[in-house]
Amino acid sequence: MATTWLLPSSSQQRTGLDGVKGSAVAGLREVKTQSTANTPKPVWNPDIKQPIDFFEAWEDVPNNIEYDNAFKIQWEEFIKHVILDTEWKYSLMEGAKGVQLAELGMQSWKERTWVDVQPLN
């Protein structure tokens, strides 16, 4: 089950995934996980303040790969395509699909709901 949520340490939106053996939360530059074994198991007691910090058990996933700037890479590919007069892998339709996806992402965020992506003709 995929959800979106905010962790208290960041104002960025995160995408989360809850599985049988634990959960993961991915942001733009970081991923945190929490195994089922490390998930707090609270007992509800209305007479006391909650003693468990539910965010404390999340662990950082190490970043083992340093990624280059995607915009720079695509510009380099485009310039190479122009200079060598080779076929460009992205068509106008691919660009339209990217715009459509960005617009539907904003619509989904505003409406707080899933939206369908219709095929472009």
State pLDDT tens for residues 53-111: 888 889 999 988 888 898 999 999 999 999 999 998 888 999 999 999 999 999 998 99
Strand segments (E) across the chain: 2-5, 14-18, 22-26, 31-35, 59-60
- Is residue 2 predicted with pLDDT exceeding 90? no
SS3 assignment, position 57: coil
Look at the chain and report how many structural domains it folds into. 1
Residue 47: helix, strand or coil by DSSP?
coil
Q: Which domain holds residue 59?
A: 2-67
Higher pLDDT, 86 or 16: 86
* 8 in any annotated domain: yes
CB count, 10 Å around CB of 55? 12
Q: Does residue 81 form part of some domain?
A: no
